[in-house]
């Protein structure tokens, strides 16, 4: 589905957000994962199945690292909770810090998949039966793994690409790819690693694999070694959903969802969550200079938890589903910018949405 060329702003949507909320919510099941900042690892998040229309939690199950012996001194999130999600007709695949957990739709766990390079997983993407692209964010790698045994069929290491080294001023990481790296990066903030890209999402477009480099606010083509989108507002961003020749991204610290044309890299539209009165009223304002501090002091430990931390995204025809903190989900009309519906799972600012997928019998 393509969005076409639309206006650069959603306009004044605060008034519209009070009208018709919930009237047009589709009959869908929504799966989302959470991270609980500063929680013990074994209580650091969940995988949730939600009846969106009725706002009824149908199932939930804890999400923790596959290796229960891991210890993590970084309170922000790191090894806690669930990450990216993919839904097939038979299964729900949910990323934990160090591997993939495979469930049936009632969230009964069937099995686990991992290998020594699955460290700091974020978003996932299935493009072929039995294979799953995962972002090993701690290693700045994108790996296509075999779900049967966890082995890597393909891998991208963008820090080893001269074009990206020149574009972003980074050097190759010193990673032993034959060693088990799953515990090597725990307890430290990724910003403390020189040249870290924070590759946290992948997508496919015109046969190429795209990746989001969170630290530099860039979407890159991993096959052509080209920068496709570069926007300072995307520093710290999450999620890539390709719709035709456009890509939808959560501009996390900008508190917005942004749509870009992939052919030109041009910004097409912005949906600012703070424009919606019902969302803004329940989300305290950030401290002055929060985004500037995030960009200028990358080596400093980030704030533990912030309201309207925008992460978690899926798209149905004409609808955006987006997660934000405290753990909540909004449904937005793509064409009008209207807030169609919203749901709050927790009032605790430490509880954050991470992965999000919708399932419906209608067209995708």
pLDDT tens digits for range 24-80: 555 899 999 999 998 888 899 999 999 999 999 999 999 999 998 888 877 777 889
In this predicted structure, the answer to whether residue 263 has a pLDDT above a threshold of 60 is yes
| Distance from C-alpha of 51 to C-alpha of 41, rounded to nearest angstrom | 27
Residue 184, pLDDT score: 87
Write out the H or E segment, with its range, that includes residue 167: helix 162-168
Residue 186, pLDDT score: 82
Q: Is 172 helix (H, G, I), strand (E, B) or coil?
A: coil
| Distance from C-alpha of 198 to C-alpha of 78, rounded to nearest angstrom | 12
Mean pLDDT of 310-326: 97
In this predicted structure, the answer to whether residue 295 has a pLDDT above a threshold of 50 is no
Q: What is the pLDDT of residues 99-147, one digit of tens each?
A: 999 999 999 999 999 999 999 999 999 999 999 999 999 999 999 999 9
In this predicted structure, the answer to whether residue 180 has a pLDDT above a threshold of 70 is yes
In this predicted structure, the answer to whether residue 13 has a pLDDT above a threshold of 50 is no
Residue 41, pLDDT score: 84
Torsion of CA 275, 18, 238, 110, to 10 degrees: 170
Residue 173, pLDDT score: 86
Residue 134 or 2, more confident: 134
| Distance from C-alpha of 92 to C-alpha of 89, rounded to nearest angstrom | 8
Mean pLDDT of 81-99: 97
Q: pLDDT-derived band of residue 169, with 50, 70 and 90 as boundaries?
A: very high
Residue whose entry in the numeric block shows the structure tokens 């959903």:
241
In this predicted structure, the answer to whether residue 224 has a pLDDT above a threshold of 90 is yes
Q: Which tokens is 71 given?
A: 């210890």
Secondary-structure breakdown of the chain: helix, strand, coil percentages, each rounded to the nearest 5: 15, 40, 50
Q: Give the number of C-alpha atoms closer than 13 A to the C-alpha of residue 226, restricted to the C-beta side.
A: 10
Cβ 192 vs Cβ 245: under 8 Å? no
Residue 303, pLDDT score: 61
Q: Which tokens is 131 given?
A: 């294979």
Phi, psi (rounded to 5 degrees) for 301: -60, 135
Q: pLDDT-derived band of residue 305, with 50, 70 and 90 as boundaries?
A: confident
In this predicted structure, the answer to whether residue 192 has a pLDDT above a threshold of 70 is no
Residue 38, pLDDT score: 86
Mean pLDDT of 314-330: 97
Residue 25, pLDDT score: 53
Residue 283 or 104, more confident: 104
Residue 188, pLDDT score: 61
Q: What is the pLDDT of residues 14-24, one digit of tens each?
A: 333 333 444 55
Number of H helices, E strands in the chain: 3, 24
Distances, alpha carbon 165 to alpha carbons 158, 202, 344, in Å: 8, 19, 41
Residue 63, pLDDT score: 97
Domains of the chain: residue spans and CATH? 16-359 (2.120.10.30)
Q: pLDDT-derived band of residue 294, with 50, 70 and 90 as boundaries?
A: very low
Cβ 30 vs Cβ 321: under 8 Å? yes
Residue 288, pLDDT score: 40
Q: pLDDT-derived band of residue 284, with 50, 70 and 90 as boundaries?
A: low
Residue 78, pLDDT score: 84
What average pLDDT does the chain have?
A: 87
Residue 178, pLDDT score: 94
Question: Cis omega (within 30 of 0) on the bond before 326?
Answer: yes
């Amino acid at each position: 589905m393509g969005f076409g060329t639309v206006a650069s702003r959603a306009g004044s949507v605060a008034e519209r957000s009070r009208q018709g909320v919930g009237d047009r919510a589709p009959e869908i099941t929504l799966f989302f994962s959470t991270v609980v900042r500063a929680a013990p690892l074994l209580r650091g998040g969940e995988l949730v199945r939600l009846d969106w229309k009725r706002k009824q939690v149908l199932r939930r199950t804890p999400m923790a690292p596959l290796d229960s012996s891991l210890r993590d001194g970084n309170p922000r999130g790191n090894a806690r909770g669930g990450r990216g999600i993919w839904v097939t007709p038979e299964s729900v695949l949910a990323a934990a810090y160090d591997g993939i957990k495979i469930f049936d739709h009632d969230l009964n766990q069937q099995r686990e998949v991992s290998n020594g390079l699955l460290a700091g997983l974020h978003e996932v993407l299935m493009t072929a039966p039995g294979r799953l692209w995962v972002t090993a964010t701690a290693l700045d790698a994108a790996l296509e793994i075999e779900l049967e045994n966890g082995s890597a069929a393909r891998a991208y290491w963008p820090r080893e690409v001269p074009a990206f080294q020149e574009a972003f001023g980074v050097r190759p990481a010193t990673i032993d790819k034959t060693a088990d790296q799953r515990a090597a990066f725990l307890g430290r903030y990724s910003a403390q690693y020189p040249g870290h890209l924070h590759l946290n999402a992948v997508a496919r477009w015109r046969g190429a694999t795209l990746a989001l480099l969170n630290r530099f606010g860039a979407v890159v083509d991993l096959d052509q070694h080209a920068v496709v989108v570069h926007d300072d507002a995307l520093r710290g961003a999450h999620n890539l959903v390709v719709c035709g020749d456009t890509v939808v991204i959560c501009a996390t610290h900008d508190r917005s969802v942004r749509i870009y044309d992939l052919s030109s890299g041009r910004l097409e539209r912005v949906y600012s969550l703070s424009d919606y009165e019902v969302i803004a009223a329940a989300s305290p304002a950030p401290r002055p200079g929060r985004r500037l501090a995030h960009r200028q002091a990358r080596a400093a430990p980030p704030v533990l938890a912030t309201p309207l931390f925008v992460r978690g995204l899926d798209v149905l025809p004409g609808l955006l589903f987006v997660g934000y903190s405290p753990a909540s989900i909004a449904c937005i009309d793509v064409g009008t910018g209207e807030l169609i519906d919203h749901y709050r799972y927790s009032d605790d600012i430490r509880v954050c949405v991470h992965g999000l997928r919708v399932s419906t019998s209608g067209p995708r």
